[in-house]
Chain A
Amino acid sequence: MKKQLVELAHARSGDKGDIANIALFAPDWTTYDLFVREVTAERVRTHFEGIVNGKVARYEVPNVLALNFVMHGALNGGASRSLRSDALGKSLSSALLRMEIEV
Chain B
Amino acid sequence: MKSVRIAGGLGFYGDSWRPIKASIERGNVRYVASDHLAELTLAILQKDRQRDPNLGYTRDFAPMLLDLLPLAIPRGVKFILNAGGLNPMAAREVLLGALKKFGIKLKVGVVLGDSVLERLDELQESGISLAHMDTGAEIATVRDRLLFASAYLGARPLVEALDAGADIVLTGRVADAALFLAPMIHELGWRWDDWDKLAQGIVVGHLLECSGQATGGNFGGDWRSIPDLAHIGYPIAEVWENGDAVISKAPGTGGRVNFDTLREQLFYEVHDPHHYLTPDVDVDMTTVHLDEIAPDEVRVIGATGRPAPELLKIVAGYEDGVMGQAMLGYAWPDALAKAQSAAEIIKQQMVEVGLKTEEIVVEYMGFNSIHGPLADSMHAKELNEVYLRIAVRCADKKEAAKLGRLFPPLALSGPPFIGGAGGMIEPRGLLGIWPTLAPRSVIEEYIRVSVEES
Name A residues whose Cβ lies closer than 8 Å to a Cβ of B.
10-12, 14-19, 21, 23, 25, 47-51, 57, 59, 61-66, 68, 70, 72, 76-81, 83-86, 88, 90-91, 93-95, 97-98
Give CA–CA (A16, B276) in the complex, Å: 13
Q: How far is the CA of A76 from the CA of B433 in the complex (A)?
A: 12
CB proximity to A under 8 Å, residues B269-285:
269-274, 285
Of the residues B274, B317, B389, contact of A85 by C-beta under 8 Å: B389
Partner of B431, one of A72, A81, A90, A97: A81
Which of B218, B285, B373, B435 is close to A90, meaning CB atoms less than 8 Å apart? B218
Task: Answer whether residue B188 sits at the interface, using C-beta atoms and an 8 A cutoff.
Answer: no
List chain B positions with a Cβ less than 8 A from chain A: 39-40, 43, 134, 213, 218-222, 259-260, 263-274, 285-290, 302, 315, 317, 320-321, 323, 325, 359, 361, 363, 365, 369-374, 376, 389, 391-393, 430-433, 435
Closest to B325 in A: A83
Find B432's partner among A19, A63, A70, A78 (CB 8 Å cutoff). A78
A48 CA / B375 CA spacing, docked (Å): 11
Question: A58 CB to closest chain B CB, in angstroms?
Answer: 11
Closest Cβ of chain A to B282, distance in Å, is 15
**In the assembled complex, which residues on chain A have CB atoms less than 8 Å from the CB atom of B430?**
80-81
Q: How far is the CB of A79 from chain B (nearest CB, A)?
A: 5
Q: Check if A81 sits within 8 Å of B220, measured CB to CB.
A: no
Q: A48-B374, A64-B290, A85-B370 are in contact. Are A17 and B433 (CB under 8 A)?
A: yes
Could you say which of A63, A81, A88 contacts B289, with CB atoms under 8 Å apart? A63
* Chain B residues touching A, majority SS: mixed
Q: In the complex, A86→B375 CA distance in Å?
A: 13
Complex: how many Å from CA A85 to CA B39?
17
Task: Verify A50–B371 contact, CB threshold 8 A.
Answer: no
Distance from B361 Cβ to chain A, minimum over Cβ atoms (Å)? 4
Q: Which of B39, B43, B260 has the most CB of A within 10 A?
A: B39
Question: Are the CB atoms of A18 and B371 closer together than 8 Å?
Answer: no
For B431, give the chain A residue with the smallest CB separation.
A80
In the bound complex, do residue A84 and residue B134 qualify as a contact, i.e. CB atoms below 8 Å apart?
no
Best-buried of B40, B213, B260, B376 by chain A (most CB within 10 Å): B40
Query: Within the assembled complex, what's the spacing in Å between the Cα atoms of A88 and B333?
Result: 32
What is the chain A residue whose CB lies nearest that of B44?
A80
In the bound complex, CA of A33 to CA of B112 (Å): 48
Q: How far is the CB of A81 from chain B (nearest CB, A)?
A: 4
- Please judge, given known A-B contacts A83-B361, A90-B218, A95-B374, whether A18 and B264 are in contact too, CB under 8 Å: no
Cross-chain contact B374 with A80 (CB below 8 angstroms): no
The complex places the Cα of A96 from the Cα of B325 at a distance, in Å, of 27
Q: Which of B268, B271, B373 has the most CB of A within 10 A?
A: B271
Residue of B with least CB distance to A49:
B373
User: B359 touching A83 by the CB < 8 A rule?
Assistant: yes
Q: Is the CB of B271 within 8 A of A19?
A: yes
- Taking a contact as CB atoms under 8 Å apart, the answer to whether B285 and A61 are in contact is yes
- CB <8 Å contact, B376 and A98: yes
CA distance A80 to B370 in the complex (A): 16
Query: In the assembled complex, how far is the CB of residue A13 from the closest CB belonging to chain B, in whole angstroms?
Result: 8
A44 to chain B, nearest CB (A): 12
CB distance from A100 to the nearest CB of B (A): 12
Q: When the two chains form the complex, which single residue of A19, A21, A76, A84 contacts B267, counting CB atoms closer than 8 Å? A: A21
CA distance A70 to B272 in the complex (A): 8
Residues of A near B287 (CB, < 8 A) are 63
Q: Nearest residue in B to A78 (C-beta to C-beta)? A: B433
Closest 6 CB pairs of A and B: A23-B267, A14-B269, A10-B221, A50-B373, A83-B391, A83-B361
Given contacts A72-B134, A80-B433, A86-B370, contact A63 B269 (CB under 8 A): no
| B100: min CB distance to chain A, Å | 36
The reply to whether B363 and A84 contact each other, CB–CB distance below 8 Å, is: yes
- Cβ A17 vs Cβ B134 within 8 A: yes
Known: A16-B269, A66-B267, A81-B320. 15 other contacts (CB 8 A): A17-B39, A17-B435, A18-B134, A21-B270, A25-B260, A25-B264, A59-B273, A61-B285, A63-B287, A63-B289, A77-B432, A80-B39, A81-B433, A84-B391, A86-B370
